[in-house]
Copies of this chain bind each other. A is one copy, B any other.
Amino acid sequence: MSGPTGTGEPAAPATARRPRRDAEANRRRIVRAGREVFGARGLQATLNDVAHHAGLGVGTVYRKFSDKRALAEVVFGEELDEIAAMARDALDRDDAFDALAEFLERALARAAHNRGLRELMRQGVAEGTGLARARREIHSHCERLVEQARDQGGLREGVTAADIARIAVMIDAVMALPAEQPAGQPTEQPSELWRRYLVIILDGLRAHRHQPPLPEPTEARRPRRNHPARSTTKPSTG
């Protein structure tokens, strides 16, 4: 991430004096705390929260990261890079549809435990940051995966990489749900309910005999059409 250093820290002179050992360690502690706090409480956690969680003073945090955005950029940059790696791995699989499905499952499982990451993806990522780079990498891997899956005949006609991103958004929405507990157990562990809907959606994404084309290839054209929610395999006798 050198060259276009857009990470948020004040640039040091080329002939940089080596910083104090403990200062470097603290920086790492802050990033770690950031990951934990943002993960658990979301982006709305304050840098004060992060500082306290790291066992450090607010001042220290603000000296190393000009503001919350700067820290978030580092924290979620790492996170996104790991997800990009998952996508890269998926490219090696034989069955592209399965690869896509498993990638989604792995990436979303990661997101399920990381509220901040989910919020970040929802509100989008500023161009020119390391985040944007990782996001782009993920997207391009997905494009290739989608293409392969379609060539292999496993994927419904008309599905694009953009769809994959939006499916992630949808699944994310059910993760964000209040998580009602029907009866007893006070355990507040993250619900696994989202997997249920991933299965449903993946089944809707598979190639079948006589599927009608999906509406709205990718833009918001043509508000014409009467029953856009009517689709495949009607239970008709035919």
Cβ A199 vs Cβ B214 within 8 A: yes
Copies per complex of this chain: 2
Q: Is the interface of A mostly helix, strand, loop or mixed?
A: loop
Cβ B152 vs Cβ A235 within 8 A: yes
- Any chain B CB within 8 A of the CB of A78? no
- Any chain B CB within 8 A of the CB of A227? yes
User: A215 is contacted by which of B172, B192, B211 (Cβ under 8 Å)?
Assistant: B192
In this complex, the member of A104, A156, A204 whose beta carbon has the largest number of chain B beta carbons within 10 angstroms is A204
- Any chain B CB within 8 A of the CB of A171? yes
Cβ B204 vs Cβ A200 within 8 A: yes
Query: Can you list, as one digit per residue, whether each of A227-238 has a CB less than 8 Å from chain B (1) or not (0)?
Result: 111111111000
Collect the chain B residues with CB atoms within 8 Å of residue A218's CB.
182
Closest to A182 in B: B219
Q: How far apart are the CA atoms of A191 and B207 in the complex, in Å?
A: 26
Scan residues 98-122 of chain A and give those whose CB is less than 8 A from a CB of chain B: 98, 101-102, 104-105, 122
Cβ B231 vs Cβ A202 within 8 A: yes
- Any chain B CB within 8 A of the CB of A208? yes
Given A102-B229, A191-B220, A192-B216, also A201-B199 (CB < 8 A): no
- Any chain B CB within 8 A of the CB of A19? no
Cβ B189 vs Cβ A203 within 8 A: no
